[in-house]
Chain A
């Protein structure tokens, strides 16, 4: 199901409020757009222009509630699939979270209890989604403010199980990993050690703010040093196919945004030469054998060894 992970390079979250900025920012190899805000029959001109230049655009869903007790809404799935087709995207992404329950809506991504029972429901929902999507699905760890009692699995093991049971790719958000560290005492290194790193499709980086000892994932601040250090740590463990900066408000000037993207590139470069994918993981029980479709030494350049601009465009782009 997962197949080979395409090289994405460095990207930024496309938002209507900064569409021209994103279009014109140098060194943007790919973008991501919130699927719920898109009409696949009438794509925003800015996204169409980016696609015409061969810049991949990944639809990013926020309301499928894949960790919810209900099976994913067929209309929402059809919408995500239509977005994927309209954008001719290499993959789509969603979250490991729930947003609805019993007729109530959180309007936000809420954490799941890390139990085998939840895992069973989540995995089935993910497989239902995968069946309806024309491209691979990548799943993101969220920024938790609270923890469920009675967790049976570590954060890393839970993500490992999700990827292992469904073949889904992972969208690893290092800012959310930092949130888990500050808010719940999760050790990011332990998480990275347990993850199937070869299934990480791309990485999210974003800014947040610490208030009263809690990390709030605001996306309205520049990424901070602890978050960029986690990116460096990850880049030292595996070749990262893509890194995307998220910004959702209090938008800075274009040069400042370019500076934030440069800081993200530097954080990856600090890790040194790329390693083959998947090294550094502690072998876990139930691990599958190496996949035949996964070269030990991938032919594509990793983000920090890749040339910016046209060389990063997809060969199969329009």
Chain B
């Protein structure tokens, strides 16, 4: 056993996680196909979590949501400790900065107190 198990553990786990989420090379000895499968599973879960916080954005982007989120996630690996809520917000900011944020639907979200509820938009 090495002198500092925490240091070697940190290096090994970072190398794997970087390969899974940050475009790093697969560390030696790992099955590269499995790395890709796990990476895809992590990306899918991250997207599912963000989407659940953001139904209006998922509706607005429609089938383009997955491609847009994938591009965002590849450029911005999930930082340690970030919640799904914060990740959804960061995705929104990413799209806004690029001029790709769709207009947020009005009506449903702008109803003031005392205004009668309208059916539909």
Contacts and interface: CB of A to CB of B under 8 A. Distances in A.
Contacts of A117: 1-2, 5, 8-9
B7 to A, nearest CB: 7
B54 interface: no
Contact-size category for A: 20 to 34
A310 B46 CA distance: 40
Contact of A118 (B9, B22, B34): B9
A221 B5 CA distance: 39
Interface in A216-259: 216
A146 B37 contact: yes
Contacts of B28: 149
Given A69-B10, A69-B13, A100-B81, A108 B30 contact: no
Interface in B41-71: 41-42, 45-46, 49
Contacts of B117: none
A290 interface: no
B81 A120 contact: no
A147 B31 CA distance: 8
B80 A214 contact: no
B90 interface: no
Nearest to B29: A149
Interface residues of B, number: 37
Q: How would you classify the secondary structure of chain A's contact residues: helix, strand, loop or mixed?
A: mixed
Given A104-B79, A107-B49, A107-B78, A216 B10 contact: no
A121 B14 contact: no
B80 A105 contact: yes
A8 interface: no
Contacts of B5: 117-118, 120-121
Given A107-B42, A145-B38, A146-B35, A98 B13 contact: yes
B7 A69 contact: yes
A110 interface: yes
B53 to A, nearest CB: 13
Contacts of B49: 107
Contacts of A116: 1
B33 to A, nearest CB: 9
Contacts of A110: 13, 16-17, 20, 38
B78 A105 contact: yes
Interface string A101-119: 1111111101001001110
A129 B14 CA distance: 22
User: Among the interface residues A70, A98, A104, A120, which one has the most CB atoms of the partner chain B within 10 A?
Assistant: A104
Contact of B37 (A70, A121, A145, A149): A145
Q: Which 4 A-B pairs have the closest CB atoms?
A: A149-B29, A69-B10, A102-B14, A101-B13
28 contacts: A68-B9, A69-B9, A100-B80, A101-B10, A101-B14, A101-B17, A101-B80, A102-B17, A102-B80, A103-B80, A104-B14, A104-B18, A104-B77, A106-B17, A106-B78, A107-B84, A108-B41, A108-B42, A110-B20, A113-B12, A116-B1, A117-B8, A120-B1, A145-B37, A148-B30, A150-B29, A214-B37, A216-B41
